[in-house]
Chains A and B, each alone.
Chain A
Amino acid sequence: AQTVTQSQPEMSVQEAETVTLSCTYDTSESDYYLFWYKQPPSRQMILVIRQEAYKQQNATENRFSVNFQKAAKSFSLKISDSQLGDAAMYFCAYRSLYSGAGSYQLTFGKGTKLSVIP
């Protein structure tokens, strides 16, 4: 079974600064997907960015980018030019691509609470 670990329960960043959230995972599979989801107080989980394991290039979505280190099984999220609206819980998630019972479930880390200081 896969596991996802987020070692930073809480982080804070000054508005307009850059912050990096850490995520490591454990798997024996060679092909999979990794995601970062944002959960604001409204509880709505929102996809921030996704990474395909077979792609070496790091994914980027506007101010959000990842540092994907496949050998190290590390998948960190960098938020540049932080905004007040970025304050939320951030969850790292793993998704297998192989068929079979349970293989399509998303496995989540415990989350990192990000605060943005004005």
Chain B
Amino acid sequence: GAGVSQSPSNKVTEKGKDVELRCDPISGHTALYWYRQSLGQGLEFLIYFQGNSAPDKSGLPSDRFSAERTGGSVSTLTIQRTQQEDSAVYLCASSLVYRRNTEAFFGQGTRLTVV
């Protein structure tokens, strides 16, 4: 596609339920990032995928969070047993890596509300 696509745009879930957030990166982009943006806050790094390399999971806040990237393209961020503090906007970005001046292109995010 022309840009990074995220779905759903908004998600309301009950505390304790599992949720899956999807990201379709720009075709050909080998790097994919997930960030979390809490209300009025900056972007908190969650996880980074680069090609077939092992992902950098250093930003995942707990073992309730996991992510996978299938076929080097689509990525799914899964939050198990959601808590109210998980409410935030989850942003996905993709980029080329092997260009020095590469920028990250962002999707419009998924707003997750845990009630």
B18 close to A (CB within 8 Å): no
Contact B43 A50 (CB under 8 A): no
| Residues in chain A near residue B54, CB distance under 8 A | 101
- Known contacts A52-B101, A91-B42, A91-B43, A43 near B89 by CB under 8 Å: yes
* Among A12-20, A61-69, A72-80, A107-115, the stretch in contact with B: A107-115
A27 at the interface (CB under 8 A from B): no
Interface status of B109 (Cβ within 8 A of chain A): yes
Contact with A along B40-82 (1 / 0, CB 8 A): 0111010010100010101100000000000000000000000
**A102 in contact with B56 given A50-B103, A52-B100, A52-B101 (CB within 8 Å):** yes
Interface residues on A, range: 20 to 34
In the assembled complex, which residues on chain A have CB atoms less than 8 Å from the CB atom of B42? 6, 91, 108-111
How far is the CB of A65 from the nearest CB of chain B, in Å?
A: 17
Contact A45–B106 (Cβ < 8 Å): yes
Nearest chain A residue, comparing its CB with the CB of B58: A102
Which B residues are closer than 8 A to A by beta carbons? 31, 33, 35, 41-43, 45, 48, 50, 54, 56, 58-59, 89, 91, 93, 97, 100-101, 103-104, 106-109, 111
**26 A-B pairs whose Cβ atoms sit less than 8 Å apart in the complex:** A6-B42, A33-B100, A37-B106, A42-B108, A43-B91, A43-B111, A44-B108, A45-B91, A45-B93, A45-B106, A47-B103, A50-B101, A52-B100, A52-B101, A91-B43, A102-B48, A104-B31, A104-B50, A105-B33, A105-B48, A105-B56, A105-B59, A106-B33, A107-B45, A110-B41, A110-B42
